[in-house]
Amino acid sequence: MDRVINIHQFMPDKVWKWNLLEQKIAQVLSLHDYQEIRLSVLQDYGVIHEGITALMQQDEATIAAEGIINLSQPNGDLSLLTLRPEGTISVLHHTAKIIKDHEVLRFYYMGPMFRKENNNVPSEFHQLGVELLGSESVISENEVISLGIKICQQLGLKDVNLHLNSFGCQDCRVQFFEDMRAYLTEHETELCATCFKKLYTNPFADADCGDVACTKAIMEGPKIMDYLCPNCRRNFSKVKKIQANLAHQYTIDPKLFKNYAYYNETVFDFVIKKNGTEQVIGGGGRYDYLSRMITGKNIPAVGFYLNMDSIFETMDRRELFTPLDKDFSVYIATQSEDLEMMLLQIAQELHDNNIKTVLSTDKHSITEDVALATKAQCELMLVIRDENVREGKILMRNLSKEHQDYIKLDGIIEAILLARKSLNKE
Ligand SMILES: [Zn+2]
Ligand SMILES: [Zn+2]
């Protein structure tokens, strides 16, 4: 039986699209003064564990920790390694070492993350993480939210919609948690065991299993919006007002929840349409309390992630990847072993003139070489033969025009440049 594991392997037909996606994202971020940082894929298990569970209750922490792919030995030694499940924790530790008073830092990172998904399947997924550190102003939230929308739009996902909610602050969420747990106890029979346990341990957990009865019970329960203190309420209104003024479509979603418990106040999702339903392709929020708990330094922060796999899949399905102008390239073949040195010399001469080559590595018939050159999407083919070389020339075949000519050995580059010009490849 095949081992069940979700990993990434991409061949060149997909890699050029990934490059394009990553370049476009980097371009937008650089315009907004975000700097790339490269985090290690291997992380200290203890540090990651502490970060993920920092603001959680015991039960909740156990559930969250189960998702980490732990590389330690089964002797319970937590000082060993884990594959990074997310980037925020490393970014905070890094930032705490360098940030100065009143300084604001903007970072982003892209790359694979690893977690156990449903049924404990080890999974690799690509993620963009963006973090704005050192500011608790509402404008920083709006900057980050707008940036996420901008990236999606620049990638061609024009239908991106913003879903907003607030998790309140440490003061106003206390009463909500209390009322939510009382409500859950009262309605325990209406919810499945999983939803009940998830929500009881973390009333902000993304718990909806899709079951009609569960959804109904959750929808009818207490809503955090009704518990916000005046300050949280004012901040949330400001976020809505600014986003409306920026003409960003948004939906208030009182059931927008997150599985990580470290968020406070504004939380958001980026949502697109897929087959008539809504698909979350990213999201984030404010996490002002996390740094103090794991680094000892108070760093108010707000950030978001984009699920690059979902974005890639959507862009591919919507045919949003337009290939860059294909390179002009020349196929070179020889039909004699004695001329292999000459083949490499000619290739070198072409490279010196920035012309891409595809070399024939084995002996083929001319028909086979034409087929291989066509498959490699070359425009021109050079064939080096003894009898021609003796006369100081080689054969140049124009594959798109199905036309061939002999060119002089001392005029190869000129002939190729001329042919390229006629193909409008300059
Ligand atoms: Zn509050
Ligand atoms: Zn349920």
233 Cα: distance to centroid of ligand 1 (angstroms): 7
The mean per-residue pLDDT over the stretch 199-211 comes to 81
202 Cα: distance to centroid of ligand 2 (angstroms): 14
Ligand nearest to the CA of 176: 1
Length of the chain: 426
pLDDT in tens, 217-261: 888 999 999 999 999 999 999 999 999 998 888 999 887 887 777
261 is a domain residue: yes
234 Cα: distance to centroid of ligand 1 (angstroms): 10
Q: What value does the mean pLDDT of the chain take?
A: 90
Residue 325 has pLDDT above 70, yes or no: no
Ligand nearest to the CA of 236: 1
Q: What is the pLDDT of residue 1?
A: 43
- Say which CATH number the domain at 400 has: 3.40.50.800
Is 333 found in the same domain as 296? Answer: no
Is 149 found in the same domain as 64? Answer: yes
pLDDT in tens, 357-402: 999 988 888 899 999 999 998 999 999 999 999 999 999 999 988 8
pLDDT in tens, 120-152: 888 999 999 999 999 999 999 999 999 999 999
38 is a domain residue: yes
Question: Would the CA dihedral through 151, 156, 162, 167 be positive or negative?
Answer: negative
Residue 84 has pLDDT above 90, yes or no: yes
Spatial distance between the Cα atoms of 320 and 301, rounded to a whole number of angstroms: 33
220 Cα: distance to centroid of ligand 2 (angstroms): 14
Spatial distance between the Cα atoms of 256 and 75, rounded to a whole number of angstroms: 38
Last residue within a domain, chosen from 297, 317, 337: 317
What Rg, from alpha-carbon coordinates, does the chain have?
29
Give SS3 for 316.
helix
pLDDT band at 324 (very low <50, low <70, confident <90, very high): low
Q: Say how many domains are in the chain.
A: 2
192 Cα: distance to centroid of ligand 2 (angstroms): 4
On whether the CB atoms of residues 180 and 196 are closer than 8 A, the answer is no
Q: What is the pLDDT of residue 72?
A: 67
Is 282 found in the same domain as 361? Answer: no
Ligand nearest to the CA of 173: 1
348 Cα: distance to centroid of ligand 1 (angstroms): 68
Is 392 found in the same domain as 289? Answer: no
Is 284 found in the same domain as 383? Answer: no
Ligand nearest to the CA of 172: 1
Spatial distance between the Cα atoms of 379 and 426, rounded to a whole number of angstroms: 13
Ligand nearest to the CA of 208: 2
Query: By residue range, what is the domain housing residue 345?
Result: 329-422
197 Cα: distance to centroid of ligand 2 (angstroms): 10
Helices and strands (H and E) in the chain: how many: 15, 15
pLDDT in tens, 60-70: 777 777 888 88
Is 394 found in the same domain as 274? Answer: no
107 Cα: distance to centroid of ligand 1 (angstroms): 27
On whether the CB atoms of residues 314 and 380 are closer than 8 A, the answer is no
Is 261 found in the same domain as 162? Answer: yes
CB neighbour list of residue 81: distance below 8 Å, 6 or more residues apart? 42, 43, 44, 45, 71, 72
293 Cα: distance to centroid of ligand 1 (angstroms): 19
Last residue within a domain, chosen from 283, 317, 351: 317
Spatial distance between the Cα atoms of 300 and 217, rounded to a whole number of angstroms: 34
C-alpha distances (whole Å) from 394 to each of 331, 332, 352, 367, 381 are 13, 11, 19, 17, 10
Is 407 found in the same domain as 337? Answer: yes
Ligand nearest to the CA of 169: 1
Q: What is the pLDDT of residue 86?
A: 92
User: Tokens for 318?
Assistant: 């919507």
- Say which CATH number the domain at 255 has: 3.30.930.10
Ligand nearest to the CA of 193: 2
Last residue within a domain, chosen from 317, 350, 371: 317
